[in-house]
Structure 1
Amino acid sequence: MVNRSRRPRRARLLAIPLAAIGLVLGMTHPALADNPTSTVVDSTRGGGMSVGLTFDDGPNPPDTLRLLGVLREHHVKAVFCLWGDHVRQHPEVVRRIVADGHTLCNHGMHHDDMAAWPAQKIRADLLETSAAIRAAVPGAHIPYFRAPYGSWGQTPTVAADLGMQALGWRLAVGDWDPPGTAELIRRLREGITPGAVVLLHDGGGDRSQTVDAVAAVIPALRSEGWHLSLPARRG
């Protein structure tokens, strides 16, 4: 989601004890309101033996471009949660993401913690981010929003009002502090559960280990009967 010195405080608190047993789990988010569109989803639309790959903090050449090559080779579609500042720096990479048929997610303009923000300020940030994405790709469809640091506050409701589903995760493998490709592979293989959305990163630092791990894990999962899916949407 960002340089890992700024990695989500809440996610880090969860990660420390779990990392000791080899995997880092993300938060499973309950409904934040009766309106189903303001629920934070963390499961795939297919359920069962499916898993959804999501990538935060890009676009970030060259890692994003190499990741796109891996996904293309294995015919996998993923969700890219885009950081607005990075979108403005690398609009051509956003165009590549869309051209390859992947799904876009608004990840905030400056990767700020919005947990305590009033709704009006959140709305302005999300609108600015979506505008930056659409400046790169006119008319781009942006069906998801993911809060930086997993700090939700009022963001799911505001995102729903703007037509975006709040997107959480069930598994975060801690690639913001790269532990080595072999360790990332192990955390993915041991941590993935049926229907899980997985949080990974293509930006916010050197993500070459993440790309290498994804390249190894996709064929291994498929050989065991898993299929790669997109996250659910509600409402």
Structure 2
Amino acid sequence: MGAFSRADGARHPHHPRTYEISDPEEIRAYRAVVRLGHELAGPDPVFCSCGDDTGAHPSPERDRLLDPLSPEGIPARHRARWVAAAPAAVREYAGALAAGAEDPDLPRGVPPALVFGWLGAVREEPRDAAWLLAERGPSRLLAGLPTEELAWAVRETDRAGLEGAVRFFASEEFTTRHPKRRRVPDTARDRLLRHARGHRPADLPVLERRLLRTPDDRIRRS
């Protein structure tokens, strides 16, 4: 799916420029509004100047289905599905993001290992209209945490958490930190590199370059 243009310029801050639909019911509904759009555009739709990139000519039915701000639309359904799958400790925060809050208050006391697991969880529809939220939401919770706390969480997390941890440590949220804040104890660093070798090889070169070593005995947990 392509970008959606509204006449008033309003937008959902976490709606991606492109996304996919795979649910048969949603596909049928989309095809129906495309057919309607072809009828409205007339015999020569090449010259349609609506400026939209969804593949469907503007109509009330299209707006209701594809507008990211429509509570009845496909994007809203995808966001609601993402919120429902979020861990209980972060569900209110996820709901605020899905509702369109640009920068909601961060929940307190959420273990980083849980957030790693949220980021790394397997999603049935990984490229739906909530895929950008699925990256931004957890990453914003992790971005402000000290490296030492993140490293301890790497030690404690499960496989889904390691998936999320590798994604976070290879992302700009971590790799752009000052070198002093990129020092990761050997045990955590080794776990990240091992998971990347087996499951995310594209991230391995970034991790090898940007994760600076710190002996485990230099880090103490309070």
With structure 2 as the length reference, what TM-score do the two structures score? 0.28
| Higher RCO, 1 vs 2 (CA within 8 Å, ≥6 residues apart) | 1
With structure 1 as the length reference, what TM-score do the two structures score? 0.27
